[in-house]
A and B are shown apart, each in its own frame.
Chain A
Amino acid sequence: QVQLVESGGGVVQTGMSPRLSCAASGFTFRSYSMHWVRQAPGKGLEWLALISYDGSKKIYTESVKDRFTISRDNSKNTLYMQMNNVREEDTAIYYCARDSVVATGGFDHWGQGTLVTVSS
């Protein structure tokens, strides 16, 4: 079955550069576009970034595009998010999600999330 397992979260200080990972299994990772979505404590969902199946296309939301970098290693079935110069407002649960196999968009599988807490 499809599994997505995020890691790399924790408590970090403002200005630091944590890297999140998402280990994928149970499907052909190299065939799917992947995404990062976050959720601040008690708040709604915010889409952050997309990376195409081969890594050639990357799209970001404006609030992170100059600080976060999405990448993937298809040989390791792993998705990454490099977060630079984090701010307190980046405190959130970060989910990786797979592009829907049946729809033009949307996410048909999600990881359990990893919590990043940014503290000054």
Chain B
Amino acid sequence: DIQMTQSPSTLSASIGDRVTITCRASQTISSWLAWYQQKPGKAPVLLIYDASSLQSGVPSRFSGTRSGTQFTLSISSLQPDDFATYYCQQYSDYPWTFGQGTKVEIK
């Protein structure tokens, strides 16, 4: 199975900060990667697909990049609504696998 390793596990940040979350795949997955946001008690929401494409309706402060097997989710200016847990997920090969999650907390 392809292992997805996210870092950090927890991130403390303030409103207006630029935030970066990293996800590394254990083998090449091309750009077959998505990012999700999940708030407590809610289902995940798709933010980014194909590593860098913004899902319709998602604010433009979210962006995704790829460098080899390393992927990054960035939030350009953290807003109150952005405090949540973020997951990466690969869909290059079955079983599709998720990273362990990054919780973004208020500093």
Interface residues of A (CB under 8 A from B): 44-47, 50, 59-62, 95, 100, 102-108, 110-113
Contact = CB atoms under 8 A, between A and B. Distances in A.
Contacts of A45: 36, 38, 44, 87, 89, 98, 101
Interface in B19-57: 32, 34, 36, 38, 42-46, 49-50, 53, 55-56
Contacts, number: 69
B31 to A, nearest CB: 9
B94 A108 contact: no
B50 A44 contact: no
Given A60-B95, A104-B91, 13 more contacts: A44-B101, A46-B98, A47-B95, A61-B94, A61-B95, A100-B34, A103-B50, A105-B96, A106-B89, A108-B46, A110-B45, A111-B43, A112-B42
Contacts of B45: 110
A32 to B, nearest CB: 14
B96 A47 contact: yes
A50 B38 CA distance: 21
B95 A102 contact: no
The interface centre, meaning the residue of A95, A107, A111 with most chain B CB atoms within 10 A of its CB, is: A107
Nearest to A93: B43
A62 to B, nearest CB: 7
B14 interface: no
Say which size band chain B's interface belongs to. Answer: 20 to 34
Contacts of A95: 43-44
B97 interface: yes
Given A44-B100, A45-B87, A110-B44, A100 B49 contact: yes
Contacts of B95: 47, 59-62
A112 B43 CA distance: 6
B43 A105 contact: no
A61 B96 CA distance: 8
Contact of B91 (A62, A105, A110, A112): A105
9 contacts: A44-B100, A45-B89, A45-B101, A47-B97, A50-B96, A95-B44, A103-B50, A105-B32, A110-B43
